Amino acid sequence: MSIYISIIVPVYNVEQYLKKCLNSLWQQNIPESKFEVIVVNDGSTDGSPTIAQEVLSKHKNGYYLTQHNLGVSEARNTGLQSARGEYIWFVDSDDWISSNCFEDMLRAVGGQDLLAFGAVCHLPTGERVITIGEDSVLSGAEYMCRFRDKLEACVPFFLFKRTFLLSNSLSFVPGLLHEDSEFMPRTLLKASRIVISSNAYYHRLVRPGSIMRTISPKRPSDILKGMSNVYQFYRRQNALSFTLIKSLNDFISNNLNYACKLSRQTDSEDQKAFRLKLADEKWLSNVLLNSSRLKYKVEGILLLLFPGHLPEIHRFLMLFNIKHWTS
């Protein structure tokens, strides 16, 4: 019997949130025989494994895998290797999904490579709805060009056709933080058709204590590694349009700016180490200079004059509120 959707949930020390996440996966409007839930325990040391196995034991379509704290990228890769569904949905274990959404999503995607949809972000101060526009169908390149540096490169906001991922050897870089920003541009460049849904099917919990809210020198360093991967990947592609290259450069530049912001939160020695890494990346000025935003272009010019000092350049230009200038 065909399985329509495989939901892959990496789990690491989220006992406070896990039950809500997992329960939401079964509050759906298609038979359990038509979807599967794959939980990958990434070496949790709290009560998460017990909670996961308790919930999964109530359902015939739930599967539990375990690994030794290799990170979310490897957990997703492990789940993907075991998945049998026509489509893959990567769900974070402290988030949840909308009730009775599977039927709508499957109808909308219609056999295409990806389905992109909105989300509700649950913040300490309230809710913020992320929408990506009216219902439509675009190529991956068109999608990238539409959103440029505003692209929501959040993997759970997409449904992926499994054969599309496998045939294009698309997986996550092991051990990399901010792995979504590295994964999504590569995936979009390979996608023939992406269906855009105006609906918000995903619920993201923005909470203190998560990896993406932790100050660490690894975060800016890994963003730099990820953007280097994206740059090298798109340079290997044939016949990319001028507009698409500009869009990719905008995306990379925006992430580099974010890495600079994160670096300034670390101690002086870590900031120095990050500047040395930046100085080794000779491609940075080229990306900044060939973007569409004036701010990035100015950063590129100044970086040629002051190699490795992008964090200081970024901070200096922020004083002039140039971030909204476009050419």
DSSP 8-state class, residue 236: T
The residues facing 97 across adjacent strands are: 202
pLDDT of 35: 98
DSSP 8-state class, residue 306: S
Q: Nearest 5 degrees, angle CA 88-CA 89-CA 92?
A: 145
* pLDDT tens-digit readout, 224-258: 999 999 999 999 998 899 999 999 999 999 999 99
- Answer for the pair 92, 70: CB distance below 8 angstroms, yes or no: no
User: What is the distance between the alpha carbons of residues 15 and 46, in angstroms, rounded to a whole number?
Assistant: 7
* pLDDT tens-digit readout, 95-121: 999 999 999 999 999 999 999 999 999
DSSP string, 180-220: HHHHHHHHHHH-S-EEEEEEEEEEEE--TTSGGGS--THHH
Within 8 A by CB and 6+ apart from 325, the residues are 293, 294, 295
Is the pLDDT at 211 greater than 70, yes or no? Answer: no
The pTM assigned to this predicted structure is 0.94
Q: Which residue has the tokens 């939901």?
A: 7
* pLDDT tens-digit readout, 5-44: 999 999 999 999 999 999 999 999 999 999 999 999 999 9
Helical packing angle, 140-147 and 179-190, nearest 10°:
130
